[in-house]
Amino acid sequence: MKKTLLFIALLTFTNLTIAQCYEQITFGGAHTVGKRTNGALWGWGYGAAGQLLTTNETEPTIIQLGTATDWNKISNGVLNTFVIKNNGTLWGVGGNQFGSLGVNSSSMNFTTFQQITAAANWVKVAPSYFFTIALKADGTIWAWGQNDTYQLGNSPATAQQLFPIQVGTATDWVDIATGTNRTAFAIKSNGTIWGWGANPSSIIVSGSSTTSVISPTQVGTSNDWVRMSVGSQHILAQKQDGTLWSWGGGPALGVGGTPNVTNIPQQISTDVWISFSTGSATSFGVKSDGTLWAWGVNTNGQLADGTTTNKSVPTQIGTDTNWHSVQARNFATTMAVKTDGTVWFWGRNYYGEFGIGTSYDLNFYTTPQQTPGVCVTTLTTPTFEKEIALSLFPNPAKDVVSVQYNLDATSAKLEVYDIAGRSISTNVLSSSVGDLQLNTSSYPSGVYIVVVKQDGVLLARKKLLIE
């Protein structure tokens, strides 16, 4: 019996060792990029625009993206890939239609990573098809690419914007999202939600005559929004209590019946959702009990419920109760991760989206298919707190570290601990937004943890390397 248990344990360990595991994995609709524990990037799927550092239309097997190992946070567009490095700089590769890479060039595609301005305080990127918006640690939003419907939050409407320009003058933004159309949304530190750009199905303001909105405009009066995902004509947004709401138009709203086209948020259910994501005309979500649900257009079976019938209310996918997260970006393919770290896809595998070594597959998979040998090792427990922007640079550092923060809090504390958990320093942050110069000249070389707390509650945490 002991020998049998030992064999099973060894077999399990061997399988995990062989598997290609990632700290982070991001799906862009047709290609996937993951970051391994050593900081290196790997990817697969559609690559014709250079988003996988090749010019191959398909990359059905997993390939390494360059040799750099100092990458931090990945954001995939449909035709490009953006990554923030540990030092806060932003880099992009792939499609640059209308200047959507933001590298001040009109070249169509790039197959090597290009730095986007010299700024080193980027914290999040939200790419769409032909435009991109990004959030800095100082709470400002920047945009570039196509601006024909004011999706860059600036006037006049222009065919292209080749480098980042600021969206308005506000410095209290904490989260951003773009739709698969030409619409952008953002959440402020006070919990209000704002939109600009194209206005399909009155997704921003009421009235079919309003086709676009020039600058950020508040939607509703609620001040407890924490995150969102935007489709082509609809948006899903979550409140601090974990409930999910929608507005816009189409069956992907998930409220049943024949939904009205409206910019008034409608509650989908009283359930708590731990993950959710929109496709072009689809919606997916994971409830707190680990079940996976889908609704919206289902003409090709893209809702993975085994049918081709559209669903106007959430419909469960299978019976499993160990789903962790879901990512949908386009009309045809969706990715989800289970709590055991396994990665699953359904929909179309035409460009090798599944990462299983095959492409140009004309089948449409209507139930989740596992990608063998791929796993996610860092599965965070979802919370419903507002996004906290915290940036450290340079990182690694020597004598001084610039700590830029944008918090939904005042009188918070910034604390530094060494790897053994010993407190090294404590600083009181007197404002919700700021730039603290942290003197690290006396710190021995090694790994440190920088945390932000208010009344003992953890708000944010970052790893700091001292050379």
Q: What is the 3-state secondary structure (H, E, C) of 399-465?
A: CEEEEEEECCCCCEEEEEEECCCCEEEEEEECCCEEEEEEECCCCCCEEEEEEEEECCEEEEEEEEE
Mean pLDDT of 380-384: 60
State the pLDDT at residue 189. 84
State the Cα–Cα distance between residues 190 and 224, nearest whole angstrom.
Answer: 8
CATH 2.130.10.30 in the chain: give the residue spans: 20-376
pLDDT band with cut points at 50, 70 and 90 for residue 420: low
Q: Does the pLDDT at position 409 exceed 80? A: no
Give me the percent of the chain exceeding a pLDDT of 70.
Answer: 92
What is the rounded distance in angstroms from the CA atom of residue 23 to the CA atom of residue 42? 11
Average pLDDT, the chain: 89
DSSP states of 29-75: SSEEEEE-TTS-EEEEEE-TTSTTSS--SEEEEEEE--S---EEEEE
What's the CATH architecture for 389-466? Sandwich (2.60)
Residue 411 pLDDT exceeds 90? no
User: What class, spelled out in words, does domain 20-376 have in CATH?
Assistant: mainly beta
Listed range (146-150, 375-379, 390-394, 420-424) with the worst mean pLDDT: 420-424
Residue intervals of the chain classified under CATH 2.60.40.10 are 389-466
pLDDT 10s digits, 10-37: 333 334 334 689 999 999 999 999 999 8
Q: Is the pLDDT of residue 3 over 70?
A: no
Q: pTM for this structure? A: 0.82
Q: What does the pLDDT read at residue 419? A: 66
Average pLDDT over residues 115-131: 94
- Extract the runs of DSSP E, i.e. beta strands, from 191-269: 193-198, 212-218, 225-230, 234-239, 244-248, 262-267
Each residue of 50-82: pLDDT tens digit? 999 999 999 999 999 999 999 999 999 999 999
Question: Quick check: helix, strand or coil at residue 196?
Answer: strand
441 pLDDT exceeds 60? Answer: yes
Please state whether 46 falls in left (phi above 0), alpha (psi between -120 and 50) or beta: beta
- Listed in sequence order, the residues at least 6 apart from 410 whose beta carbon sits closer than 8 Å to its beta carbon are 429, 430, 431, 432
Tell whether the model's pLDDT for residue 460 goes beyond 90: no
